[in-house]
């Protein structure tokens, strides 16, 4: 067995050092997929998917009735809004809760994609714009991919604020030997302040020794 050269870290240590960076990248990709997909679907659902023309007696022109995706499928923008909020919530959750959230986002994305697919094949009256349902379908697919990635890999990703929690714990100064640390001085100061207020309540001047 050959000993490792001095100053050279083992391969396993190097892999562990690179792992947190890879996890943060996966987290970023998942959040971007969820937010971008839900945002795209929400925007596309507010566009005009079909224009119905109602004929009127001559010489009056026909009445144009623009129908948006939200008007045709009222639940579609609501699901997209929930997916948009859930994409941001991925950052604030961790462990099993994050995996459950990923499964929920996956289902929501699939439902949004189904709404876009319906808009592509439905026989609407009047002029029909198929590119908006197509964008809605694309957004649903992106959100589904982000939710699936979160459900499969999210348990090991870092949570928002974890870095600052570790830094705060590491910055705590140890108490000086003999109990003369900062905490002891704070307790003495607090006791003196309380005694001064008590003296004022009795009508005494705490500044007179």
pLDDT tens for 54-98 read 666 777 666 677 889 999 999 999 999 999 999 999 998 988 999
CB 91 within 8 A of CB 116: no
Domains in the chain, ordered, with CATH? 19-161 (1.20.140)
- pTM over cut 0.75: no
3-state secondary structure of 48: strand
> Looking at residue 12, what is its pLDDT?
42
8-state DSSP, 204: -
Q: Reduced to 3 states, what is the DSSP secondary structure of residue 50?
A: strand
Give me the sheet containing 127-128, strands edge to edge: 63-68, 48-54, 127-128
């Amino acid at each position: 067995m050959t000993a490792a050269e001095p100053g050279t870290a083992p391969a396993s240590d190097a892999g562990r050092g690179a792992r947190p960076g890879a996890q943060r990248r996966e987290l970023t990709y998942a959040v971007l997929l969820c937010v971008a997909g839900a945002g795209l679907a929400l925007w596309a659902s507010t566009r005009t998917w079909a224009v119905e023309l109602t004929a009127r007696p001559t010489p009056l022109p026909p009445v144009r009735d623009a129908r948006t995706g939200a008007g045709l499928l009222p639940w579609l923008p609501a699901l997209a809004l929930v997916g948009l909020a859930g994409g941001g919530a991925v950052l604030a959750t961790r462990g099993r809760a994050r995996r459950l959230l990923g499964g929920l986002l996956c289902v929501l994305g699939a439902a949004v994609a189904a709404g876009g697919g319906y808009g592509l094949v439905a026989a609407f009256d009047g002029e029909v714009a198929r590119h908006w349902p197509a964008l809605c379908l694309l957004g649903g697919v992106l959100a589904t991919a982000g939710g699936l990635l979160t459900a499969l890999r999210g348990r090991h990703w870092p949570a928002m604020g974890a870095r600052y929690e570790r830094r705060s714990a590491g910055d705590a100064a140890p108490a000086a030997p003999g109990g003369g640390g900062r905490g002891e001085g704070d307790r003495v100061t607090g006791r003196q302040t309380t005694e001064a207020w008590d003296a004022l309540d009795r009508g005494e001047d705490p500044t007179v020794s």
